[in-house]
Structure 1
Amino acid sequence: MPNTRPVDQGTITTGLRAAICLAALLLATHAKADSAPILSPAKTAAEAGLVDIRQLVPDIAEDIKYAGSDNFVGAPVDGYLAPKCLLLRAAAEALARVEHDLRPQHLRLQLFDCYRPARAVKHFVRWAGDLADQRTKATHYPELDKRALLGDYIAPVSGHSRGATADLTLLRCNADDTHCAPLDMGTDFDYFGTRANTDSAQVTPAQHANRMLLKAAMEREGFRNYAMEWWHFSLMPAPMPDVIYDVPVQ
């Protein structure tokens, strides 16, 4: 027999109020997530709170791609005036801990990119829109039409501009650490295509194991991998998630 007891109107009011509050909270959270980041007025790395990783690890291996021409643009990228890795201090300290944890295993990091000025991201977007420039296709996007790069691969705002993301790989050193060479990860840095996905089935078991070794080392210090790029890691939670910077790397 159905329950015919009168419903307490106070219960309805309380429940409705709670539902409205929850909906408002969800909408506010969604709006915040979708809102554009704030561009910091900082003009120098010091004003932005960015530090050079070499202040913490003087001999860390670096191959800062966007300061030169060995990159998918094929030229030095706007905002890179020196081949340096800058990061907010919390991210720099976490990355230094990763490096120090690896060294007893005869492993080291090699850095490709760290903080990325907002003007560099604009340079990437302009390059992606220039369909006549196909100079780096064979190396960086052999299986993709250049028009497919905007979106998942090249976005108008990059997490790198928040100062807590790094692109890197692992080096394996000999017994006395006098010589180190990159581990085989299955693709080069900035390869646009599914083969670069961290869990891609297109790479060999040994290449996948190398990726997992890097991923585990970074995760132990709070970095999260971007699943489409085995080399891309961001410190979580981000120190300044709503702010991007445009100071030059110099």
Structure 2
Amino acid sequence: MTRRAALAASSVLAGLLVTTALTGAPAAHAAKGMEPKAPKEFVALSDADPTILQEIRYFTPHNFVGEPVDGYRQPMCLVTKDTAKALHRAQKSFLKRGYTLKVYDCYRPQRAVDHFVRWAKDLQDERMKAEFYPRVEKNRLFEDGYIAEKSGHSRGSTVDLTIVKLPAQPTRPYVPGEPLTDCAAPKSERFPDNSVDTGTGFDCFDTLSHTEDPRIQGEQRANRHLLKTTLDKAGFKNLPEEWWHYTLKKETFPDTYFDFPVSRRSLPR
């Protein structure tokens, strides 16, 4: 048996889709009829801190793909226990200041990343371009780094999030087919979001989304820095190209990529 085949067989027995830095390639999906399961180190964020708001965009059609993404069976945030504890620490700090965290995405199965890759290669599908990448040609999404074949989200310690001023007002649901607005337009013109104004919407494929972009000033810049400094203290590091993207510095699984579905049934009992 080859090394890659042995790794694939091992991942099936473990109930996981595993990708390691050693092989650099994903193992096969779990055997037919056997969905991968999360290891004991994963939890539902709502169990660790029910005060953190959740708006799981990839469970809905309101995302750059324009449809629910593969692997999102329930609109919930799954993360490693260490990540949940760190988010809870940050949340306590935000609550004292009159804010709450809101997560857009947490653990992301490899099958969801694969969905992104298939979509990015289909240059004819630009149904959500007007909102999420109005100034970027779709054939440059790989080259410009907006889409990749692997994501740190699949390791369970990365989250996409923002902050909301309390008391939080509800955000209306997206209606498929409704007119789209540039994600970098003024907040009053963008799709409504109950979060603070950070200069762009979530998942805005634009250099304005770079955390320290000098064009972002005033209240928008202050909001980004409030998010960043508080999460830094809680043990997270920011991806400079995305103001919303944070990874726990001491990741539980720094070299492992999972593929269990986003569902409570995926969690250990």
Q: 1:89 aligns with which of 81, 88, 97?
A: 81
Q: Which residues of 2 match residues 59-74 of structure 1 at below 5 A?
A: 59-74=51-66
Give the Cα separation in 1 of the matches to 2:22 and 2:132.
30
Which of the residues 238, 241, 244 maps onto 2:254?
241
Q: Equivalences for 1:77-226 in 2 at 5 Å?
A: 77-151=69-143, 152-173=145-166, 177=167, 181-226=194-239
In the alignment, is the contact (CA less than 8 A) between 2:51 and 2:100 conserved in 1?
Answer: no
TM-score, normalised to structure 2, is 0.75
Q: Distance in 2 between matches of 1:92 and 1:229?
A: 21
Larger radius of gyration: 1
**Do the aligned partners of residues 44 and 200 (structure 1) sit closer, same or farther apart at CA in structure 2, a change above 3 Å counting?**
same
Q: Partner residue of 2:3?
A: none
Instruction: Kindly indicate whether the alpha-carbon contact (under 8 Å) linking 1:37 and 1:243 is maintained by their aligned counterparts in 2.
Output: no
1: CA distance between counterparts of 2:149 and 2:115? 10
Considering fraction of residues, name the structure with more helix: 1
CA separation in 2, counterparts of 1:73 and 1:178?
27
How large is the RMSD of aligned CA atoms in angstroms?
Answer: 2.0
Conservation of the 8 A alpha-carbon contact between 1:48 and 1:245: no
Give the conservation status (yes or no) of the 8 Å contact 1:115–1:160: yes
- Provide the secondary structure at the position in 2 that maps to 1:94: helix
- CA distance in 2 between counterparts of 1:58 and 1:197 reads 30
Shift of 1:178: 6.5
Q: Secondary structure at the match of 1:182?
A: coil
Cα distance in 1, alignment partners of residues 232 and 199 from structure 2: 21
Q: How many pairs were matched up?
A: 215
After TM superposition, the score normalised by the length of structure 1 is 0.81
Structure 1 moving runs of 4+ over 6 Å: none
Q: Distance in 2 between matches of 1:43 and 1:64?
A: 21
CA distance, structure 2, for counterparts of residue 131 and residue 205 of structure 1:
37
Judged with a 3 Å threshold, the aligned counterparts in structure 2 of structure 1 residues 144 and 49 are, in CA distance, closer, same or farther, namely same
1:10-44 per-position Cα deviation (integer Å, ceiling 9, x unaligned): xxxxxxxxxxxxxxxxxxxxxx9685276597822
Residues 1:85 and 1:178: Cα distance change in structure 2 (over 3 Å)? closer
Q: Which amino acid aligns with 2:230?
A: A
Alpha-carbon shift at residue 163 of structure 1 (Å): 0.3
User: 1:145: how far off?
Assistant: 0.4
SS of residue paired to 2:108:
coil
In the TM superposition, what whole-angstrom CA distance separates every residue of 1:158-205 from its partner, at most 9, and x where no partner exists?
Answer: 0000000000001111xxx46584110100000001010001122232
Deviations 1:127-151 (A, max 9, x none): 0000000111110001100011115
Give the deviation of 1:56 after TM superposition: 1.1
Distance in 2 (alpha carbons) for counterparts of 1:34 and 1:227: 26
Mapping 1:18-29, distance limit 5 Å? none
Contact preservation (8 Å) 1:52, 1:86: yes
- Structure 1: runs of 5 or more not aligned: 1-31
Consecutive unaligned residues of structure 2, counting only runs of 5 or more, are 1-19, 171-193, 264-269
